[in-house]
Every structure is written in structure tokens, then in C-alpha cells.
Chain A
Amino acid sequence: MRIKVERSGGFTGIPISNEMDTRDLPSTLLSTAKKIIEEKKASSLSSKSAPKGAADHYSYKISIQDGAEQSVIECNQYNISDDLKSLIKYVEKNFDRTHRINRSK
């Protein structure tokens, strides 16, 4: 399985995408990743809900690819659980593939 963390937003507006193989995740983080797969349809997280007036925060899109199956969850820095935050941080530090997304036409 592959896990990908795409971050967008922030004052800089410069997005980044990091990914790695889930077998390289520590077991606790792996269970967080599995939970994402299980709860993908029940997820109430959104990248858009933030405190009133807040700006320049990070938004995240986490995808897990298992063969043909893909699970996606979207959130931002205000509504992520501590578990998910640890998972994001781990992937951002220990990725085996990274790229910036150039969005200009």
C-alpha cells in the first residue's frame, strides 16, 4: 500500500506532495492509516471548516492506494486528530517520493 500526503495553502501558497510505502510506517501509524481506510465513507472531516476569519492555514489530502482501491480523506490543521497529525508529520519527514505541484497554466 502507498500513502500520499498532499499539503496545500499556507501564506506561501506553495503545495507539496509526499508519499511512502505503508510497510515503512511504525505500527501505531499504520493502524491510523488503516483506520482512514475503514472510515473513509464515514469521514466528517473537511478541508474547509476553520475558525471564523482564519487564513493562511494548511489543508491536507491524504490518500491510501491499495491495489486498485483508493481511500481519500481531506482535512486542515484545525480539524485533524493528534493521530492523523503524527501520521502526516511522519510521511512529511520519511517520504520516499516527493514532488511540488506546479499549478500554473
Chain B
Amino acid sequence: MDFKNRFDVINRESEFVNLGNPICLIIPEYVNKKIMEKGSKKQKEQAWKNLILTEQLRGRRSVTGLMSSMFSVSNKLDRTIFDAENTENLPGTLVRHEGEKAKGGKTVSEAYDYSGSTYNFYKDVFKRNSIDTRGMKLDSTVHYGEDYNNAFWNGTQMVYGDGDGEIFQRFTKSIDVIGHELTHGVTQYEAALEYDGQAGALNESFSDVFGSLVKQYALKQKADKADWLIGAGLFTNKIKGIALRSMKKPGSAYDDPTIGKDPQPGHMKNYVDTTSDNGGVHINSGIPNRAFYLAAIELGGYAWEKAGEIWYIALTERLRERSNFQTAANSTHEVAGTLYDKSSHEQNAVKKAWDQVGIKIKAVK
């Protein structure tokens, strides 16, 4: 099958809609949404009915949110970069608007270019219109704080520190960091995973998964050629480490006298119970991260095409605020079965991947 555009599935499914076939009820919600965006008038009407029905059945999300997305005005990339000038005031001074030529230096350019790469990744691969599906503007602030060793998403924008020059360099340096932060925005508008415990670790994991895929997509790398690292190149040469996290081998990214050893587990038997870091959201994310890596490697090719799509649909159509690792495993397994048939190579690969990190799939209704 040609996976250049896996969302061609929409065209296939929409034939059922044209026939007015009752099978429409099993059309996944995301397909209905796509038809509403791209389909003919008749297709849109049918998809709309299906959506209302499934929304009512599941009793979640306001349909009005979807309604307004139909009339979304913006379908263009719209970036703005601000400079906090080493204060902690947000958003800071405007430096560069969408379409303006490069100015403000390397850090501004990286924030601008890599947020564009992330936007294009979501648009090309998943037909997603920005963070909120409605063309949300992408605002970033650079040069935040003094010697600031962090990057974060505050619910409305991205923020990047310059690093202290001792442990870290500037946080805009790695494209996957920017993909990671923007994906927190995507999660906010989709599964809205609570930032605590296993739900929080899943929230972190989805950001690492799609952050890594943004990088792989930009480099046109196949799964077996990718480094599967998060934050490669952020450490100064004084630190013994290659990156902040390794999805391939959690726990192996750094081991240094100053900052300690990468604490990530890659299996449930090493799950870390802690109250710090919102219940270890940046620690236990190693487990679902590795499950994704294993599925992607088993499926081969470009990781965003199969594994990435399965995870994306789970994030946007299956998971909820308090979902845990088990729910994520069950959901990705179920999605793989819907897209590729039950007991397909794809579905088995997902099952095996979770199995290898210590999570057995349980059938979902």
C-alpha cells in the first residue's frame, strides 16, 4: 500500500457514506471529521450525522467545538517569535512575524524554522490544521530567563531558555524539542491528558514520540536509521551524555558526575513511584516511549506512516484525561486492528511492543 498519504482511507470509507449504508456507524470519528473538512456537501451532511450520533453515544466533547472548526478561518501557518531579553516576562518583545525574512539571530531562526517544520509535519502527515485543528497561531518566546535550563509549554505558547552554557546550550537547538513542546499543545486540545502520574507520563511520551517523528520527517529518515533521541546536542561538551532521553534504550542517554544518570525505565518492572516531577512524568515516559520505538521498528519504513498514525489516532480519538499505560496499550492495539484488520501484522506488532515493556493488551469494547 502506498503510505504517502495514509489518509486516503477517507476516500475509501466515504463510498460507504455515499451509499447511505448503515455501516457508517463504524466509520472512525476522525474519518468523519476528515469528510467534513474535505468531502462533498452530501458527504459532509452524512458525516455530520454520524459524528453527532457517536458524540451522543459516548457522551463526550461538545459538538459545537467541531461545528466551529468547520468554519475555521485560518488555514495558514502563522508564527510569531518574541524575545524575553533574559527576563521572565511573557511574551516579550516581538522580533519576527510570519513571512518576514530572517532576523534576530540564530535562536530566533531556529524557533521560527522548527515550529514551521512541526506545523508542516502535522499538516502533511495527519492533515491537522495547527495545534487546535483551527489554525491556531504559533507563538514562541526565546531568551527566557537567565541561564535558564528549560523549555516549556504554558498552555498558550512555547518558551525557550538559552541554557547556562555549563550543562545546557540553547533549547531551540534541537528540532525535536520544538516538536515536543508543540505536541503538548496538540495533547491539550485532544486527549487532554492530566499532567500527573501515568496520564502525565503518557502526555510526556506523546510529546517525545511526535517530537522524534518531526525530526525523522524533516530528515526523511526510516525507523531503523533514526537516533530515537530527545534533545540530542543540547548538552555542552562538559557533560557526559548524548541526549536527555533515549526512546530506544531508556536510561542510557546520560551518565555524568554533575547531573547523575538518566533515570528512565524501559519496562514496567522498573516503574518509578515518586511524588516529584508530578509523579515522575519525565521518568516513566520511558516505558511508553520504548513501546512506540519497538512498534515502529517492527513495522519498518517511515515511523510516522504506520506506528505514528496509530499513536496519533489513539491520542486524538481514544485517550482521555485520566488514561493510563494500560488504556494507551489497549487503544493503540484497537486502532491498529481498525486500520489494518484484526491479527494483522500491524496489530500484532503493537501487541508485541507493549508486551516487551511489560504491558499485556486487554480487549477493549
Q: Which residues of A contact B (CB under 8 A)?
A: 6, 8-15, 47-48, 50-59, 61, 78, 100-105
**Among the listed A12, A78, A104, which residue makes an inter-chain contact with B149, where contact means beta carbons less than 8 Å apart?**
A12
CA–CA, A14 and B346, complex, Å: 35
* Docked-complex contact A103 and B274, CB < 8 angstroms: yes
B308 within 8 A of A: no
CA–CA, A6 and B282, complex, Å: 16
Number of A-B contacts (CB under 8 A): 115
CA–CA, A103 and B188, complex, Å: 28
**Among the listed A15, A52, A104, which residue makes an inter-chain contact with B277, where contact means beta carbons less than 8 Å apart?**
A15
CA–CA, A61 and B255, complex, Å: 25
* Docked-complex contact A9 and B244, CB < 8 angstroms: no
CA–CA, A10 and B153, complex, Å: 10
Task: Name 24 interchain pairs, CB-CB below 8 A, sorted by A.
Answer: A8-B276, A8-B277, A11-B150, A11-B152, A11-B177, A11-B180, A12-B282, A13-B277, A13-B281, A13-B282, A15-B276, A48-B196, A50-B195, A53-B153, A53-B185, A53-B187, A54-B155, A55-B181, A55-B195, A56-B150, A57-B154, A102-B261, A104-B265, A104-B270
Known: A61-B276, A103-B263. A11 touches B151 (CB 8 A): yes
Which range holds the interface residue count of chain B? 35 or more
B258 within 8 A of A: yes
Q: Which residues of B contact A (CB under 8 A)?
A: 149-156, 168, 171, 177, 180-181, 184-185, 187-189, 192, 195-196, 203-204, 207, 231, 244-245, 251, 258-265, 270, 272, 274, 276-278, 280-283
Instruction: Give the residue name and chain of the A residue nearest to B235 (CB).
Output: A12
* Docked-complex contact B270 and A105, CB < 8 angstroms: yes
Q: How far is the CB of B157 from chain A (nearest CB, A)?
A: 10
A101 neighbours in B (Cβ, 8 Å)? 260, 276
A12 neighbours in B (Cβ, 8 Å)? 149-150, 168, 231, 244, 282
* Docked-complex contact B272 and A10, CB < 8 angstroms: no
* Docked-complex contact A104 and B187, CB < 8 angstroms: no
- Nearest first, the 8 closest Cβ-Cβ pairs linking A and B are A13-B282, A53-B188, A104-B263, A8-B276, A51-B155, A56-B152, A55-B184, A102-B260
A10 neighbours in B (Cβ, 8 Å)? 149-150, 152, 282
B282 neighbours in A (Cβ, 8 Å)? 9-13
A102 neighbours in B (Cβ, 8 Å)? 260-261, 263
* Docked-complex contact A59 and B277, CB < 8 angstroms: yes
